[in-house]
Structure 1
Amino acid sequence: MPLTSKGPRSRVARYFISAISGMLPVLLGVVILYWQALRTLEQSTAQTAQEAVRQFDLMLDNTALAARALLPLAGQPCDNAVQLALREQVTRRPFVRATTLSWQKNIYCSSLFGGNYQSPVNPDDYVDGSLWLMNGNPVTPDTALLVYRLVEGDQGAFASVDSYHLTNALRLISRYAHLILQVGPNWLDANGKVHDNAVPVFAVAHHHLASGRYHYSVDAGMPEGETWRYMQARYPALFSLVVFFGVLAGVLAHWLQKRSSAPTQELQRALSANEFIPYFQPVVRGDTRQWAGCEVLMRWKHPKEGLVRPDLFIPLAEDSGLIVPMTRALLRQTAAQLAPHTERFSPGFHIGVNITARHCQDLELVTDCREFLAAFPPGHVTLVLELTERELIEPTETTRSLFDALHQLGVMIAIDDFGTGHSSLGYLRNFNVDYLKIDQSFVAMIGVDALSRHILDSIIELSAKLDLGIVAEGVETAEQCEYLVAQGVDFLQGYLFGRPLPCDEFIKSLGSR
Structure 2
Amino acid sequence: MPLTVNGPRKRATRYVITALSALLPIVFGVFILHWQAERTLQQTTAQNAEEAVRQFDLMLDNTALAAQALLPLAGQPCDSGAQLALREQVTRRPFVRATTLSWQKNIYCSSLFGGNYESPVNPDDYVDGTLWLMNGNPVTPDTALLVYRLVDGDKAAFASIDGYHLTNALRLISRYTHLVLHVGPNWLGADGKVQNTAIPVFAVAHHQLASERYHYSVDAGMPAGEVWRYMQARYAALFSLVVFFGVLAGVLAHWLQKRSSAPTQELQRALGANEFIPYFQPVVRGDTREWAGCEVLMRWQHPKEGLVRPDLFIPLAEHSGLIVPMTRALLRQTAAQLAPHAARFSPGFHIGVNITARHCEDLVLVDDCREFLAAFPVGQVTLVLELTERELIEPSDITRRLFDALHELGVMIAIDDFGTGHSSLGYLRNFNVDYLKIDQSFVAMIGADALSRHILDSIIELSGKLDLGIVAEGVETAEQRDYLADQGVDFLQGYLFGRPLPCDEFIKSLASH
Q: TM-score, normalised by structure 2?
A: 0.50
Question: What pairs up with 1:191-340 in 2 under 5 angstroms?
Answer: 262-340=262-340
- Could you report, residue by residue, the CA deviation over 1:167-194 in whole angstroms, capped at 9, with x for unpaired residues? xxxxxxxxxxxxxxxxxxxxxxxxxxxx
Q: Does 1:341 align with 2:341?
A: yes
Q: Which has the larger radius of gyration?
A: 2
Question: What pairs up with 1:99-248 in 2 under 5 angstroms?
Answer: none
Give the deviation of 1:302 after TM superposition: 0.5
Separation (CA, whole Å) in 2 of partners of 1:325 and 1:440: 28
Other-structure match for 1:448 = 448
Long gaps (5+) in structure 2: 9-255
Separation (CA, whole Å) in 2 of partners of 1:309 and 1:369: 26
- Asked whether the 8 Å contact 2:3–2:316 carries over to 1, the reply is no
- Asked whether the 8 Å contact 1:300–1:308 carries over to 2, the reply is yes
- Asked whether the 8 Å contact 1:280–1:296 carries over to 2, the reply is yes
Other-structure match for 2:230 = none
Runs of 4+ in 1 over 2 A off after TM superposition: 1-6, 256-261
When residues 260 and 365 of structure 1 are mapped into structure 2, their CA distance, relative to the original with a 3 A threshold, is closer
- Could you report, residue by residue, the CA deviation over 1:59-100 in whole angstroms, capped at 9, with x for unpaired residues? xxxxxxxxxxxxxxxxxxxxxxxxxxxxxxxxxxxxxxxxxx
Give the deviation of 1:3 after TM superposition: 2.9
Other-structure match for 1:406 = 406
- Could you report, residue by residue, the CA deviation over 1:279-338 in whole angstroms, capped at 9, with x for unpaired residues? 000000000000000000000000011111111000010000000000000000000000
Other-structure match for 1:397 = 397
Query: Matched residue of 1:313: which SS?
Result: helix
Query: Matched residue of 1:298: which SS?
Result: strand
Query: Matched residue of 1:288: which SS?
Result: coil
Amino acid at match of 2:299: R
Q: Number of matched residues?
A: 265
Separation (CA, whole Å) in 1 of partners of 2:259 and 2:402: 41
Other-structure match for 1:504 = 504
Other-structure match for 1:374 = 374
Separation (CA, whole Å) in 2 of partners of 1:435 and 1:299: 24
Separation (CA, whole Å) in 1 of partners of 2:257 and 2:468: 48
Other-structure match for 1:416 = 416
Q: Sequence identity of aligned pairs in percent? A: 90
Long gaps (5+) in structure 1: 7-255
When residues 495 and 400 of structure 1 are mapped into structure 2, their CA distance, relative to the original with a 3 A threshold, is same
- Asked whether the 8 Å contact 1:2–1:305 carries over to 2, the reply is no
Question: What pairs up with 1:86-105 in 2 under 5 angstroms?
Answer: none
When residues 260 and 389 of structure 1 are mapped into structure 2, their CA distance, relative to the original with a 3 A threshold, is closer
Q: Does 1:438 align with 2:431?
A: no
Separation (CA, whole Å) in 1 of partners of 2:482 and 2:311: 30
Other-structure match for 2:18 = none
Q: CA RMSD in A?
A: 1.9
- Asked whether the 8 Å contact 2:389–2:423 carries over to 1, the reply is yes
Give the deviation of 1:488 after TM superposition: 0.2
Separation (CA, whole Å) in 1 of partners of 2:449 and 2:265: 44
Other-structure match for 2:14 = none
Give the deviation of 1:349 after TM superposition: 0.1
Other-structure match for 2:3 = 3
- Asked whether the 8 Å contact 1:388–1:416 carries over to 2, the reply is yes
Give the deviation of 1:392 after TM superposition: 0.3
When residues 260 and 468 of structure 1 are mapped into structure 2, their CA distance, relative to the original with a 3 A threshold, is closer
Other-structure match for 1:149 = none
Separation (CA, whole Å) in 2 of partners of 1:386 and 1:305: 28
Amino acid at match of 2:498: G
Other-structure match for 1:249 = none
Separation (CA, whole Å) in 1 of partners of 2:474 and 2:390: 19
Query: Matched residue of 1:377: which SS?
Result: coil
Q: TM-score, normalised by structure 1?
A: 0.50
Amino acid at match of 1:507: I
Separation (CA, whole Å) in 1 of partners of 2:257 and 2:327: 30
